[in-house]
Amino acid sequence: ILFTAFVSLLCACSEDSPSEPKDTFDANVVCPAEGTNACGEPNRGSFTDERDGQVYKYTTIGNQVWMAENLKFDAPFSLCYDKIEGFCDTFGRFYSLHIDGEDLGLFDRALLDTICPAGWHVPSVDEWNVLAKNMGGAEFAGPRLISSSDFGERYTPGTDDCGFNSKPAGEWLLDGTISGNYAVYWTSTAKDFNLSYVVAMGVGFTIGQNYPKHSLRCIKD
């Protein structure tokens, strides 16, 4: 009788214990390829940056519309990594958003407000976090956002469930070299008077602080 009561108690406790959160991500719900978004445009498509004629793909994820390519606009303090042929065409340019292009300092607000094409802006930390949440949380967002293409033995391809197509441009260091087989994107959120927040995306999805230059993705206003 005591054994039966003990087993019953264990069962009751087990039933009351909180279960592990389930991953309920469904790309067909979060980012359907077909249909229209809140702007009345196709969920996925392309647009032209009128400043230089560059055509960019975009994708809709939740209620957000993101560029599906890195920015390539030749803005002040930006540069193209020319040590690998075609790098800029594939990965876009590297940018500094701080005053005078410095790695430390305050945002250049005029540049920050105009670096994206008209109708688009540099996403804040909060907007990046909404993206991660839409993709099932930071634990799962990285692999679901990164490209499924092969970029070498040190790169782990993702599933690119929503057409975001993040590519491993790495980050530009002070000595002019590139570090990492992952993507790092600017945010429009300052960490303090010297540093700004960036998003690193690979096998994970993390918020960190900036190096001298990073890639840039824009989000629709």
Q: What is the pTM for the complete model shown?
A: 0.88
d(CA 113, CA 76): 13
pLDDT of 203 above 90: no
The pLDDT value recorded for residue 24 is: 87
pLDDT tens, residue by residue, 139-165: 999 999 999 998 887 788 999 999 999
The pLDDT value recorded for residue 4 is: 41
d(CA 7, CA 124): 52
Answer whether residue 192 is part of any domain. Answer: yes
pLDDT tens, residue by residue, 73-92: 999 999 999 888 899 999 99
d(CA 7, CA 125): 49
The pLDDT value recorded for residue 19 is: 58
pLDDT tens, residue by residue, 7-36: 333 333 334 445 556 788 999 999 999 999
pLDDT tens, residue by residue, 89-141: 999 999 999 999 999 999 999 999 999 999 999 999 999 999 999 999 999 99
Answer whether residue 128 is part of any domain. Answer: yes
Residue 39: helix, strand or coil by DSSP? coil
d(CA 164, CA 185): 13
Q: Report the first-to-last Cα separation within the chain, whole angstroms.
A: 67
Determine the average pLDDT of the residues in 46-70: 98
pLDDT of 198 above 50: yes
Q: What size, in residues, is the chain?
A: 221
State the total domains in the chain.
1
| Burial class of residue 90 in the structure, from the number of CB atoms within 10 Å of its CB (0-12 exposed, 13-18 middle, 19+ buried) | middle
CB of 91 closer than 8 Å to CB of 70: yes
Answer whether residue 53 is part of any domain. Answer: no
What is the number of other CB atoms lying within 10 angstroms of the CB of residue 194?
14
* Cross-strand partners of 44: 59
Answer whether residue 6 is part of any domain. Answer: no
- Write the DSSP symbol of residue 213: B
d(CA 96, CA 196): 11
Give residue 188's domain range: 71-220
Answer whether residue 188 is part of any domain. Answer: yes
pLDDT of 176 above 90: no
The pLDDT value recorded for residue 154 is: 78
Answer whether residue 48 is part of any domain. Answer: no
Answer whether residue 14 is part of any domain. Answer: no
The pLDDT value recorded for residue 123 is: 98
Answer whether residue 57 is part of any domain. Answer: no
The pLDDT value recorded for residue 113 is: 97
Short-list 168, 133, 128, 132, CA closest to 148 = 168
pLDDT of 179 above 80: yes
Query: Looking at this protein, which amino acid is placed at residue 208?
Result: G
Which H, E and C letters describe 112-153, residue by residue?
HHHCCCCCEECCCHHHHHHHHHHCCCHHHHHHHHECCCCCCC
pLDDT of 180 above 60: yes
